[in-house]
Amino acid sequence: MKKENRFNARSIAFMGMLGALAGVLMLFDFPIPIAPSFLQMDIAELPCLFAGFFMGPLQGFLVIVVKILVKLVIKGSNTAFVGEFSNLVGSALFVCTAALIYKKNHTKKGARISMVIATVIVSVAYVFMNAFVMFPLYSNLYGLPMEAIVGMGNAVNPLVTNELTMMLFCVFPFNLIKYTLVSVITYFVYKRCANAIRSILKTDQETAGLAA
């Protein structure tokens, strides 16, 4: 299939399937030892990155939107949509950055470079986004002073003593680990699935040509 994927019935259905899978993967989250329990790890960006690599950054973003909607339908939101908004922004930054770079350099090396760059960018971006937007919103939402949130970080990571160290030693490594994990899995699985995906995404025009 050509890289310039069109929005035909099969591609739309495939995006829906990937989005649904990603939404279900969001439910299987877990904490890691270096971060407080409200930072939950998952690999839900994996199907989104597949869509971005194979179909393009726009399609990858649309799969992310479906992922969030599926998660909300199944589980709802316990953060007044703050967590979902944060996930949407971070996922979009990661997937779209990687997909754009990969589109320009469509090789294994290009895939590696794209995921490394996207991982670093989203990990740094989350530091600023959490420091100036998300954590203050959580603080207001739950009536918790920032000192209490920092204390939750210190309870699992003694390097955390203030808001800055919370970002440097919890938020940054958490996202670095998360998106590195997604990247590594994608790198080893993507090429093995490429032929199957191509067969699923045959265009309507190709099907019509075979039937003619």
Distance CA 133, CA 104 (A): 32
pLDDT exceeds cutoff 60 at 5: no
CATH label, 9-205, candidates 1.10.1760.20, 1.10.3720.10, 3.30.360.10, 3.90.170.10: 1.10.1760.20
pLDDT exceeds cutoff 60 at 81: yes
pLDDT attached to residue 18: 95
The position carrying tokens 């890691």 is: 32
pLDDT exceeds cutoff 60 at 209: no
pTM (2 decimals)?
Answer: 0.88
For 166-180, what is each residue's pLDDT tens digit? Answer: 999 999 999 999 999
For 10-46, what is each residue's pLDDT tens digit? Answer: 889 989 999 999 999 999 999 999 999 889 999 999 9
What's the gap between Cα 176 and its chain centre? 12
The mean pLDDT of 185-207, rounded to a whole number, is: 69
Residue 156: partners with Cβ closer than 8 Å, 6 or more residues away = 33, 34, 35, 36, 37
pLDDT attached to residue 190: 80
pLDDT band of residue 126 (cuts 50, 70, 90) is: very high
Backbone angles phi, psi at 30, to 5 degrees: -155, 150
DSSP-assigned letter for residue 36: -
Structure tokens that stand for 96 in this block? 């779209």
pLDDT attached to residue 10: 84
Residue 143 vs residues 85, 135, 139, 160, 167: alpha-carbon distances, Å: 20, 12, 6, 21, 20
HSE-CB of 9 using CA atoms within 13 angstroms? 4
Domain extent listing, the chain: 9-205
pLDDT attached to residue 196: 72
Position 141: which residue type? L
pLDDT attached to residue 201: 67
pLDDT attached to residue 170: 96
| Cβ(4)–Cβ(196) below 8 Å | no
| Cβ(18)–Cβ(55) below 8 Å | no
